[in-house]
Structure 1
Amino acid sequence: MSSTTTISHEKLVRLIGTPASPLLIDVRIDEDFALDPRLIPGSRRRSHRDVESWVHDLAGERAIVICQQGKKLSEGTAALLRYNGVPAETLDGGYEAWVTAGLPAVPVSRLPALDQKGRTVWVTRARPKIDRIACPWLIRRFVDPDAVFLFVTPAEVEAVAERFNAAPFDIENVFWSHRDELCTFDVMIEEFGLTSDPLSRLATIVRGADTARPDLAPEAPGLLAASLGLSRMFADDLEQLEAGMTLYDAFYRWCRDATDETHNWPNRKPGA
């Protein structure tokens, strides 16, 4: 009989990148983590030794616990979480099974420094449009669900980045920016090791909308129109970002699950 407290990597990979994704807790010991310092997308590092100190941060959430092989560390941690009222499962086979299956993993060397609450902090130009909504969506869904985004006057982005220890993005002459014909969204997918067919398809749409290349994808003009519409609907950049998250959730799910589906008005003849 299969366990009711484990999840397979096949099921987990379908949840990652969606609003329904559970919290992913990586409890690998330092020695195992040092052998492959990458994270399953969206996961965060925690120690199994001090569960009681961070379990209250998970209130109201569902958690998946990940150790090296899906054995004692994840089993024990998940059991403690359940004891404290947090629905928790373990990843069957652990991190080893995930990478053996060839699934994406995010190199921690690419993550910006964390703030005192363990979050990455990012800063870019105010009044975000396509790339500056797509990138936060990618980060929140695949890199750091708790990431903080600051939108400031364009001329102050780099100064704010330095003073507030934030990673600047989508401005000139910084690491997280356009490269040749690639958008910042393309760059983040590559640098974070997140390349997949759905994200590559979405990246082409974003690139077409962001660089006035509607020929790249038939959907690019639609994304441009929706993005410009959102910018007219919201005066507050953070409210616009939250609305944009839903927009990119929908585009991602189309790229992943619905590209072959069509919809036509029924054209039925009488008696058919």
Structure 2
Amino acid sequence: MSILSGTSNWPTVVAATRCFKFEEEARSIAGSVWRDHMQTQAWGPDLGKLGKPIVVYCLHGHNVSQLAVARLRAQGFDARHLEGGIDAYEELGGLVLKQRGPEVPLLLPQPTRWISSGRPGIDGLGFAWLVRRFIDPLAEFHFVEAEWVADIAAEMGAIAFDVEGADYGCHGANCERGSVDALLESFAITDPALQYLARIISGAESSQLELEPQSAGLLAILAGLSSLQDDDLAMLEQAMLIYDALFAWCRHVSHQSHSPASERVAS
């Protein structure tokens, strides 16, 4: 299952660990959400809308996750438990979050909310992609005028990002440490492919194109996307595929040499 991590094919993964144990462990599979295993009837509205198979895990894959799966199947969901639980997943090299960032609650039986200024840039779009793929696949994003971000965040219980003064914001004169860097650091994510992607994003956001050769391409593609799309949420959905592809390149393709098309045809 870990090979699907960070892609649109990742299933809906749910931690059903008992709440006291989940708080004690403070450990979760990246890209999963927590839900009460005794309240599966309340899972449907959020989890069902993704239209994906549901994979439920607990610590060891025993009674807690299997109870939740039995109830979900009785409700008509395509659900299964993760054999061996989070322990086995981590042993096999799957990405596990062992630390939570500021303002992001550990036990929240509903989607997290995030807010930033309108017309999100390279770093802001990358941040939203990272949240959706590795922190909360159900996350809600809102974009408003910059001057109202803090007020609206407080009123709706949202987490501000990619704005001045936010924990998840740019730091340095040229945004040397952006919101993506802040998120990776706060969740202690050291995955090499994500760190590589963060450098590409940083180079594109700060126009320091010498950081990584791919920064120039990302800058050009997202500048073009911004010129085509004036709806922030629609632009985010389109940017998700771009970041999916770039992450896949960082993870699986970056080490391969690239030959011209004529050489590939000849071979």
TM-score, structure 2 as length reference: 0.88
Report the 3-state secondary structure (helix = DSSP H, G, I; strand = E; otherwise coil) of the residue aligned with 2:163: coil
* Inter-partner Cα distance in structure 1 for 2:155 and 2:103: 18
- Which deviates the most, 85-94 or 56-65? 56-65
Deviations 1:149-190 (A, max 9, x none): 111112222122122221111112221112342111111112
The corresponding residue for 1:91 is: 82
Change (3 A) 1:34 1:155: closer
1:81 CA drift (Å) = 2.0
Change (3 A) 1:161 1:53: closer
- Of 47, 69, 80, which residue of structure 2 is paired with 1:78? 69
Deviations 1:218-248 (A, max 9, x none): 0000000011001100011111111111110
Aligned 1:1-272 pairs, distance under 5 A: 12-55=1-44, 57-59=46-48, 60-100=51-91, 103-105=95-97, 107-108=99-100, 110-112=102-104, 118-180=110-172, 181-261=176-256, 262-267=258-263
1:108 CA drift (Å) = 4.3
* Inter-partner Cα distance in structure 1 for 2:91 and 2:109: 32
Report the 3-state secondary structure (helix = DSSP H, G, I; strand = E; otherwise coil) of the residue aligned with 2:143: strand
Change (3 A) 1:248 1:149: same
- Please list every run of 5 or more consecutive structure 2 residues that lacks an aligned counterpart in the other structure: none
Deviations 1:175-213 (A, max 9, x none): 111234211111111212322011011001000000111
1:22 CA drift (Å) = 0.6
Change (3 A) 1:121 1:87: same
Change (3 A) 1:257 1:267: closer
Given that 1:104 and 1:193 are in contact with CA atoms closer than 8 Å, whether structure 2 keeps it comes out as: no
1:80 CA drift (Å) = 2.6
Given that 2:101 and 2:183 are in contact with CA atoms closer than 8 Å, whether structure 1 keeps it comes out as: no
Given that 1:64 and 1:89 are in contact with CA atoms closer than 8 Å, whether structure 2 keeps it comes out as: yes
Change (3 A) 1:191 1:83: same
The corresponding residue for 1:3 is: none
How many residues end up aligned between the 2 structures? 259
Dislocated runs of 4+, deviation >6 Å: none
* Inter-partner Cα distance in structure 1 for 2:2 and 2:102: 21
- Which deviates the most, 72-81 or 244-253? 72-81
Given that 1:104 and 1:195 are in contact with CA atoms closer than 8 Å, whether structure 2 keeps it comes out as: no
Deviations 1:36-66 (A, max 9, x none): 1232112111122222332465444201111
Given that 1:112 and 1:166 are in contact with CA atoms closer than 8 Å, whether structure 2 keeps it comes out as: no
1:257 CA drift (Å) = 0.9
TM-score, structure 1 as length reference: 0.87
Q: Could you tell me the percent identity over the aligned residues?
A: 34
- Please list every run of 5 or more consecutive structure 1 residues that lacks an aligned counterpart in the other structure: 1-11
Larger Rg belongs to = 1
Change (3 A) 1:163 1:91: same
- Which deviates the most, 145-154 or 95-104? 95-104
